[in-house]
Structure 1
């Protein structure tokens, strides 16, 4: 497995550290503790301030044509998997306190590297913006070799309220780390605030939307810097965002995503996209960035997540890097074939 290749560490020590961290996280949740920074300090990555992403879409559509009340991507992916995509759901395994090899490892092969992703739902309960209060969801299992940390509290311009604490948790566990951020459509006030700030022409609607996306990326880069999060890549999460709907115009939506991509690239990061083919098409139409892909399988299984690495599940023409499934209230991930030999391309090693 990965850790034996990069930094030898005995299984008993690894399990003991994970159990200790679980106790600490549980204690923090019980105490209602958080990052400690004030809510009016969004640049720290610990506050809960909003950048004005809520409200009516800039074009006044309110997101018609998309289900604005849909659940998070895992639920949507599960519906697709069990419906139009014809996937049979299953159950995955996990490594318990004994440190035994997980069922996920056994089903998908020894060369697959297992990891997880976390964000605002894993913060101590009650943090964040009113629409996205944190839930105190469980942290990754001991079999995780990498963690991808979410930068936002749902929509753009809202930081993950416990980002710095989550980064510290990952570093304390000596896990490989990367970052992702949800993309969202701006309301009219946000377009007014940021539409003329960026590299794109501000005289057109599309140019202004691209500039807003560019500023979303800059905001998230600032959050990473404040939290001490290093990563070679930022994954752009494209999906319907409950309470913060996309517009009915996929060209306008695509402009925001293109601006985000440019913002991360100008800051020196590689980019990838996280979605499913159906959700991507529903939000941005036939936009193709040709970048690497992290593919969601919903509440299915490790085997199904691995199958998403196949060509039939291409989102926008990029190479498959990761597959994700949901199990026991956790987002679980695995590397696609061949990625295990080039992990430094996709993760920072503390």
Structure 2
């Protein structure tokens, strides 16, 4: 399966885009008038046309990296709030990027405390050794915690409890070859989101990408059994609906399927509700 195109633009392009949003009517989306569909957008859609017929919307909180803010977040949240409804999905949802760059991170944790809070770390103590930062499960957990806590508290998302949040897990972002390190960072993200007031957290990925990054997820893991938002890349809405009955992530249930379809002179991500 081809990776979703969301991150195909370069960081330079992200810096160049204006923090604006252009809305447009449904070009090539007649099926949405019959069966309501969602739309997801983020920084690549800054200063671009987006539909206005969406039943629900999912907005990316981050820029091209997990430690950045989507420069159009406020405008895109306003657009999302005007979703027309007609679906079982919440009208406005958010997603944040998973990443685990390890010791290559610009800021890597050296303790179990972040921004004055000390969450219970199930992997023990994150600490330095002989004055050097360490790639340990405890520190990966704290890295995930810090990124997610920032996503909720400093990026301008507003009322975190009002939205369903998704953790976006893709091979196009940084991750460790040791899948246990990635699971620890994801678990830290869940804790960080909850610490910021988030109540509902799901996982976005494909089965293959999630397996590459997370490996085997046991039934007692906080990652197990969460709602799934599954991507199928460039395809059709009909195939997206069929994918609702496909293979979910460990223990989970597919709630939505994302498909990239033609829109105007380009493409847009449409989202099918599976319930």
What's the TM-score, normalizing by structure 2? 0.73
- Encode CA deviations 1:283-313: one digit per residue, 9 max, x unaligned: 1111242110011111011111112211x32
- Name whichever structure is richer in helix by fraction: 1
Q: 1:194 to 1:326 in 2, by over 3 A?
A: farther
Match of 1:290 in 2: 225
Native 8 Å contact 1:254 1:284 kept in 2: yes
Unaligned stretches of 5+ in structure 1? 1-70, 77-94, 125-135, 338-350
Deviations 1:263-296 (A, max 9, x none): 1223232100001110100111112421100111
Q: How does 1:207-218 map to 2 (within 5 A)?
A: 207-218=138-149
Structure-2 residue corresponding to 1:21? none
Partner of 1:327: 261
Where in structure 1 do 4 or more consecutive aligned residues deviate above 6 Å?
none
**Larger Rg belongs to:** 1
After TM superposition, list the pairs within 5 Å mapping 1:1-350 onto structure 2. 73-74=4-5, 96=26, 102-103=30-31, 110=35, 113-124=36-47, 136=48, 138-139=49-50, 141-172=51-82, 176-188=91-103, 189-192=106-109, 196-197=113-114, 198-199=118-119, 200=121, 201-203=124-126, 205-223=136-154, 226-228=156-158, 231-241=162-172, 244-266=173-195, 267-287=197-217, 288-310=223-245, 312-328=246-262, 329-337=267-275
* Conserved? CA contact 2:109–2:142, under 8 Å: no
CA pair 274-259 structure 1, distance change in 2 beyond 3 A = same
1 or 2, which has the higher strand percentage?
2
**1:173 and 1:275, CA in 2 relative to 1: closer, same or farther beyond 3 A?**
closer
Contact 1:196 1:202 in 2 (8 A): no
Contact 1:167/1:229, CA 8 A, preserved across alignment = no
Residues 37-89 of structure 1: CA distance to partner in whole angstroms, max 9, x if unpaired?
Answer: xxxxxxxxxxxxxxxxxxxxxxxxxxxxxxxxxx852489xxxxxxxxxxxxx
User: CA, structure 1 residues 170+268, in 2 after alignment: closer, same or farther (shift >3 Å)?
Assistant: closer
TM-fit CA distance, 1:96: 4.1
Matched-pair contact (CA < 8 Å) for 1:274–1:293: yes
TM-score, length basis structure 1:
0.58
Kept after mapping to 2: 8 A contact 1:75/1:298: no
Distance 1:170 1:159 in 2: 17
- Structure 2 unaligned runs (5+)? 8-24, 86-90, 128-135, 218-222
Task: Report how many residues are paired.
Answer: 226
Q: Aligned in 2, Cα 1:173/1:258: closer, same or farther, shift over 3 Å?
A: closer
How far apart are the structure 1 equivalents of 2:81 and 2:52? Answer: 14
Bigger RCO of structures 1 and 2 (CA < 8 A, at least 6 apart): 1
